[in-house]
């Protein structure tokens, strides 16, 4: 689930969104197809991120499971609505369904970040007593940083799009998105790097 979340929200979702914007003026049908794919990838990635957070941090909670399922169904409904009403027109402004999906995406990432950082805090206390693996503890920290960077950036991006039609044309917004992507990618690279095994004293 974590890999699906990262691919959907990151290279597939964001990458196809930028590509659809670039080809829009010269090839509208292709741009529409790319935007439909981008929207689907973003929603699938968001659903995977939310489900991952539920499974890892609240696997025994029926309430959280039900809430996560409702979030997934909401994303499906929003995608279908966008397609039915706007036909995923890459040039025309997106409907309110896409704007709502933007903030749902922010919620999913920020929720995952909060849960991961909260668990890091718990493990840090246990690690001080020798009861937790420091490598696992650091991975929770880095995962939280990665999701937090993405969630904050996505919230800014979604807020700007409420007032600016061609938000991706704003240089500062592109820089902010790229910077958060770099922070997230670096954190994940370090988090999932194979730890160096220390030799066991004889």
pLDDT in tens, 24-36: 778 888 989 999 9
DSSP code per residue over the chain: -HHHHHHIIIIIIIHHHHHHHHHTTT-HHHHHHHHHHHHHHHHHHHHHHHHHHHHHH-TT-HHHHHHHHHHHHHHHHHHHHHHHHHTT-SSSPP-HHHHHHHHHHHHHHHHHHHHHHHHHHHHHHHHHTT-S-HHHHHHHHHHHHHHHHHHHHHHHHHHHHTT-TTGGG-HHHHHHHHHHHHHHHHHHHHHTSPPPPPPPP-
- Rounded to an integer, the average pLDDT of 50-73 is 94
For the stretch 148-172, pLDDT in tens is 988 988 898 888 888 776 666 666 6
The predicted model scores a pTM of 0.84
What mean pLDDT value characterizes the chain? 84
């Amino acid at each position: 689930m974590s890999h699906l979340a990262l691919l959907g929200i990151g290279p597939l979702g964001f990458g196809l969104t930028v590509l659809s914007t670039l080809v829009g003026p010269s090839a509208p049908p292709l741009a529409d197809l790319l935007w439909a794919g981008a929207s689907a990838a973003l929603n699938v990635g968001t659903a995977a991120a939310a489900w991952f957070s539920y499974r890892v941090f609240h696997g025994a909670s029926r309430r959280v499971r039900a809430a996560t399922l409702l979030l997934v169904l909401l994303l499906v409904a929003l995608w279908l609505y966008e397609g039915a009403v706007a036909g995923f027109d890459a040039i025309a402004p997106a409907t309110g369904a896409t704007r709502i999906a933007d903030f749902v995406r922010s919620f999913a990432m920020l929720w995952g970040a909060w849960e991961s950082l909260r668990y890091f805090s718990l493990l840090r206390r246990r690690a001080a007593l020798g009861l937790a693996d420091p490598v696992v503890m650091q991975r929770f920290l880095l995962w939280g940083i990665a999701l937090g960077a993405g969630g904050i950036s996505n919230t800014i991006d979604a807020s700007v799009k409420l007032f600016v039609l061609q938000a991706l044309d704003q240089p500062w917004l592109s820089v902010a998105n790229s910077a958060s992507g770099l922070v997230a990618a670096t954190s994940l690279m370090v988090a999932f790097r194979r730890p160096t095994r220390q030799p066991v004293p004889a």
